[in-house]
C-alpha cells in the first residue's frame, strides 16, 4: 500500500494544527534569562514559583512563575537566590512547548 503525497500533506497539516492547539492551550509563556526572572520575582509580594531539576547533559534548574497574567520561565545551571518570602512548589518536571 502506498500513501499519496496529498495524504502525507494532509497528515502534516493535521500535526501542525495539533501543535498550534497545544500552544494555544498552554497560554502565553515568556522565556527569559535568570537575572530578568529574579527581577520579576522582586516585583511580587509573596511570589509563587514552581521549581524542577532537569537536564540531559548536566543538571539544570527550571523556574516557572506567573505575573500580571503571563507565565515566565527561566533555566539556570545553578540554583537561583529567590526572595525569602517565595512560596516554592517542587515538581518532577516542567514541560515547556517548543
Rounded Cα gap, residues 79 and 61, in angstroms: 6
User: Would you say residue 67 lies in a domain?
Assistant: yes
Decide if 82 contacts 72 (C-beta within 8 A). no
- CA-CA distance, 43 to 65, in Å (whole number)? 12
Flag whether 1 is in a domain.
no
What residues have CB less than 8 Å from 71, skipping those under 6 apart? Answer: 27, 28, 29, 30, 64, 65
pTM of the full structure: 0.71
- Residue 81 belongs to domain with CATH number: 3.30.720.90
Mean pLDDT by 10 residues, the chain (98 residues): 47 62 66 96 93 89 92 95 94 83
* Residue span of the structural domain in which 49 resides: 28-90
Place of cell 543538571: 59
How many domains is the chain built from? 1
Which pLDDT does position 10 carry in this prediction?
53
Amino acid at each position: 500500500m502506498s500513501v499519496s503525497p496529498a495524504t502525507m500533506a494532509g497528515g502534516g497539516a493535521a500535526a501542525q494544527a495539533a501543535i498550534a492547539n497545544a500552544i494555544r492551550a498552554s497560554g502565553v509563556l515568556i522565556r527569559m534569562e535568570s537575572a530578568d526572572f529574579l527581577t520579576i520575582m522582586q516585583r511580587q509580594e509573596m511570589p509563587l514559583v514552581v521549581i524542577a531539576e532537569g537536564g540531559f547533559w548536566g543538571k539544570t534548574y527550571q523556574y516557572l512563575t506567573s505575573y500580571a497574567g503571563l507565565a515566565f520561565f527561566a533555566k539556570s545551571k545553578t540554583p537561583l537566590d529567590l526572595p525569602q518570602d517565595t512560596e516554592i512548589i517542587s515538581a518532577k518536571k516542567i514541560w515547556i512547548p517548543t
